[in-house]
Structure 1
Amino acid sequence: MARHIYACPMRWSDMDAFGHVNNVVFLRYLEEARIDFMFTQAAEAGAGEFAGGSVVARHEIDYKLPLVHRPTPVTIETWVTRIGGASVTVAYEVKDTDEDGVERVYVRASSVVVPYDLAAGRPRRISPVEREFLGRFLVSEELRTAA
């Protein structure tokens, strides 16, 4: 299974009064990873239509552990769990591995993304080129939840 890996920089302003990354900030982290995946990486693979317009129809987030600010980026792994005719479900894990090799998952999340024709003001179908790109990162939801 291929996953897109994004090293997300943390900012001092990401912390809340309790000394950990605020829950709303995680949405920004997911957005940064999704933009890198669906705009930058897709365009480099010849599937840059998503950059022309897309909207998020749904977010689902499970907060697993608090994340405190540090100078090093946090890792966000992104993959695809469903490709529909006019939407794609993207899954994420915000995590890192400590010096002893122990992995910590802070957030597991998913977003339903709809390609959008900005000029026409309506959703559009996923193109064959986009489908081929997304298919490289496709893993069934059953496999993800079994892990």
Structure 2
Amino acid sequence: MPRHISYCHIRWSDMDAFGHVNNARYLTLFEEARTELIARAPAADGLGGLMSGVLVARHEIDYLRQIDYATEPVRIDVWVEQVRNASFTVAYELYDREAAADGSLPVACRARTLLVPYDLAATRIRRLVPREQEWLRGWLPDGGDA
């Protein structure tokens, strides 16, 4: 499964009164990782228009473990879960920094975001152009709609 791996730092301001990352701050971490995938990577492939306007239509988050403050970044895997004509879904896994007994990093949070491309000049939702769809499909687990 092709995944973009992002490393994001937890800021002191991300913490809540209980000493772990506030639930709402996960959205900011996922936004940072998502931006690396759909803004920076496509620009390197000549697809700068993909991020010229994108709206979040929906978020879904499953919190599995708490994440505490530390100076080391957390790992977030990002991939495309579904591509449609006028929307696409990005999925994430955020990993705990502390390894399990078998040495693997446990997943602390899973999430997905439904995004729609938006034409800023016309102030309306637009369709993905074929080149954008092709690039996004390259990040699907099996190269086709999941």
**TM-score, normalized by length of structure 1?**
0.90
Are the aligned partners of 2:16 and 2:22 in contact in 1 as well (CA < 8 Å)? yes
**1:139 Cα deviation (Å)?**
2.2
Sequence identity of aligned pairs in percent?
A: 48
1:139 alignment partner in structure 2:
141
Query: Which whole-Å CA distance do the structure 1 matches of 2:10 and 2:132 have between them?
Result: 30
Are the aligned partners of 2:74 and 2:97 in contact in 1 as well (CA < 8 Å)? no
* Runs (4+) off by over 2 Å: 96-100
Tell me the secondary structure at the aligned position of residue 79 of structure 2.
strand
Tell me the secondary structure at the aligned position of residue 32 of structure 1.
helix
Query: Which whole-Å CA distance do the structure 1 matches of 2:95 and 2:127 have between them?
Result: 32
Query: Which whole-Å CA distance do the structure 2 matches of 1:28 and 1:54 have between them?
Result: 16
Are the aligned partners of 1:74 and 1:95 in contact in 2 as well (CA < 8 Å)? yes
- Structure 1 counterpart of 2:62, one-letter code: D
Consecutive unaligned residues of structure 2, counting only runs of 5 or more, are none
* Alignment of structure 1 residues 1-147 onto 2, 5 Å: 1-96=1-96, 98=98, 101-139=103-141
Consecutive unaligned residues of structure 1, counting only runs of 5 or more, are none
Query: Which whole-Å CA distance do the structure 2 matches of 1:17 and 1:97 have between them?
Result: 21
Are the aligned partners of 1:56 and 1:112 in contact in 2 as well (CA < 8 Å)? yes
Query: Which whole-Å CA distance do the structure 2 matches of 1:14 and 1:112 have between them?
Result: 24
The number of aligned residues is 141
Question: Deviation digits for residues 54-77 of structure 1, max 9, x if unmatched?
Answer: 000000000000000100000110
- Structure 1 counterpart of 2:39, one-letter code: F
